[in-house]
Amino acid sequence: MSATKIVLLGAPGAGKGTQAAVLAEAIGIPHVSTGDMLRAAVAAETPVGLKAKAVMDAGHLVGDDIVIAIARERLAEGDAQKGFILDGFPRTLAQAEALDELLPRIGSGIDCCLAITVQTEAIVKRLLARAEIEGRADDNEETIRERMRVYDDQTAPLLDYYRGQSLLREVPGMGSVEEVSSAILAELEAA
């Protein structure tokens, strides 16, 4: 396995969280999800959590400063030194640039950006189904559409950012969990 510092990109509902967990297990590196860390902060009612809750419930992005600080702290931990799968970070150009500045201090830069591609209508369906199962506060239809708009606007430009560095690899996300993870592993082998 050549790539171990991996950014996973994809619209909300593309399956990033599921795939990141499978890959982290398969490769033996930590799964770093800023969404999970923020939800934990909300649940624990930390100062960051109290600030982030309303923003997340509305489907908007938490401020770059907060999220960059969270990611920086997590990536400085011992288990992240041999590699990591970043899920949900970076989500803006400013975050991607911050990550690039941060990484040389903890070793080398990222090896690969994997983008899971799916179609909008399929995603909305998936997210509505997940809303019923998990009851996440940001999984109602209006918020889902808002998160898609935010993705198109703020996060999709990162595809070009990583393409420009020849780090982008795209994997179709519509198969089964196993099909998608095999496709991702094959891309990583080749990266």
Please list every residue from 141 through 180 that binds ligand ADP, using CB under 6 A: 147
CB 114 within 8 A of CB 6: yes
CB of 127 to ligand ADP, least distance (A): 8
* Residue numbers annotated as active site: 16, 91, 130, 136, 147
CB of 56 to ligand ADP, least distance (A): 4
Q: Using the minimum distance from each CB to ligand ADP, give the nearer residue, 64 or 189.
A: 64
- Say which residues have a Cβ less than 8 Å from residue 116's Cβ, sequence separation at least 6: 8, 9, 10, 14, 15, 16, 19, 171, 172, 173, 180, 184
CB under 6 A: which stretch of 34-42, 105-113, 168-176, 180-188 binds ligand ADP? 34-42
Spatial CA neighbour of 42 closest among 31, 32, 57, 61 = 57
Number of shown-chain residues binding ligand ADP (CB under 6 A): 18
Q: Using the minimum distance from each CB to ligand ADP, give the nearer residue, 51 or 163.
A: 51
CB under 6 A: which stretch of 85-93, 97-105, 118-126, 163-171 binds ligand ADP? 85-93
Exactly one of 15, 30, 35, 83 binds ligand ADP (CB under 6 A); which one?
35
3-state secondary structure of 3: coil
Q: What is the rounded (10 degree) CA torsion for 57, 40, 18, 22?
A: 170
Tokens, residue 117: 């591609």
Beta-carbon neighbour count of residue 140 at 10 Å? 15
Instruction: List contacts with ligand ADP (CB under 6 A).
Output: 12, 16, 34-35, 38, 55-56, 59-62, 67, 88-89, 91, 95, 138, 147
